Amino acid sequence: MLERPLPLRPIGRWEGLLCDLWATAPVPSATTAVSAPSASIPARERLRRFLLLQQLLYALLEQEPETEPETEGSRRDDAESDRIDSLQAVERSIAALHERYTESNTVIELARRASLSVRQYTRLFKQLTGVTPGRYISDYRIKRSQEQLLLTDEPLERISRSIGIKDVHYFNRVFKQRTGTTPKGYVRARGSASRIVTMHYVGEILALGLRPLGALDRTLEQCRGPIEGIVSIGGDTVELDRLAALQPELILASDFMSREELQAMSRLAPVIVVPWDERPEARMQRIGRILGREREAGSWIDSYTRRKQEAARLSASLLPPGGATAAVLRIDEGQLWVHASRFFPTFYEVIGFRPSLLMEQELEGSAETRRVAVTAEELERAAADRLYIIVNPDPSFGGWLDALRASPSWTRLEEAAKGGVYYLRMQGIAYDAFTLLWQLDRIDELLGPPEARSDSVWLCEAPS
What angle, rounded to 10 degrees, do the helices at 433-440 and 294-318 form?
A: 30
CB-based contact 385:420 (threshold 8 Å):
no
The strand pairing partners of 401, in sequence order, are none
Question: What is the model's pLDDT at position 32?
Answer: 43
Amino acid identity at 333: E
With bands split at pLDDT 50, 70 and 90, how would you rate the model's confidence at 192? confident
pLDDT tens, 421-464? 999 999 999 999 999 999 999 999 999 888 877 778 899 988 87
Question: What is the model's pLDDT at position 92?
Answer: 94
Q: Cα torsion at 48, 51, 57, 62 (round to 10°)?
A: -130
| DSSP assignment string, 216-262 | -HHHHHH--S--TTPEE--SSS--HHHHHHT--SEEEEETTS-HHHH
Contacts 24+ apart (CB under 8 A), 394-402: 396/334, 397/331, 397/463, 398/463, 398/464, 399/334, 400/331, 400/333, 400/334, 401/331, 401/462, 401/463
CB-based contact 151:190 (threshold 8 Å):
no
| DSSP assignment string, 83-123 | HHHHHHHHHHHHHHHHHSTTS---HHHHHHHTTS-HHHHHH
Q: Which residues contact 17 (CB under 8 A, 6 or more apart)?
A: 52, 55, 56, 59
Q: How many other CB atoms are there within 10 angstroms of residue 96's CB atom?
A: 14
Residue 59 pLDDT > 90: no
Amino acid identity at 70: E
Q: In what order do the strands lie in the sheet with 250-254?
A: 231-232, 214-215, 196-198, 250-254, 271-274
Question: What is the model's pLDDT at position 301?
Answer: 98
Helices (H), 319-425: 345, 357-362, 397-405, 408-416
Question: What is the model's pLDDT at position 79?
Answer: 56
Q: Is the pTM higher than 0.85?
A: no
pLDDT tens, 80-114? 667 778 899 999 999 999 999 999 889 999 999 99
Among 183-192, 281-290, 383-392, name the one with the lowest average pLDDT: 183-192
Residue 266 pLDDT > 70: yes
Q: How far apart are CA 285 and CA 459, in angstroms?
A: 31
Q: Which residues contact 260 (CB under 8 A, 6 or more apart)?
A: none
The strand pairing partners of 421, in sequence order, are 387
Among 37-41, 111-115, 307-311, name the one with the lowest average pLDDT: 37-41
- Rounded to an integer, the average pLDDT of 324-345 is 94
- Rounded to an integer, the average pLDDT of 305-322 is 93
Q: How far apart are CA 273 and CA 167, in angstroms?
A: 28
With bands split at pLDDT 50, 70 and 90, how would you rate the model's confidence at 68? low
CB-based contact 299:364 (threshold 8 Å):
no
Q: Which residues contact 307 (CB under 8 A, 6 or more apart)?
A: 437, 440
With bands split at pLDDT 50, 70 and 90, how would you rate the model's confidence at 340? very high
Q: What percent of the chain has pLDDT over 70?
A: 86
Among 36-50, 162-176, 222-236, 321-335, name the one with the lowest average pLDDT: 36-50
Q: How far apart are CA 154 and CA 162, in angstroms?
A: 11
Question: What is the model's pLDDT at position 377?
Answer: 83
Contacts 24+ apart (CB under 8 A), 445-453: 446/346, 446/347, 446/351, 446/388, 446/422, 447/315, 447/318, 447/319, 447/351, 448/318, 449/420, 450/420, 450/421, 450/422, 450/423, 452/423
What backbone phi and psi angles, to 5 degrees, belong to 145? -70, -35
With bands split at pLDDT 50, 70 and 90, how would you rate the model's confidence at 378? confident
pLDDT tens, 121-148? 999 999 999 999 999 999 999 999 999 9
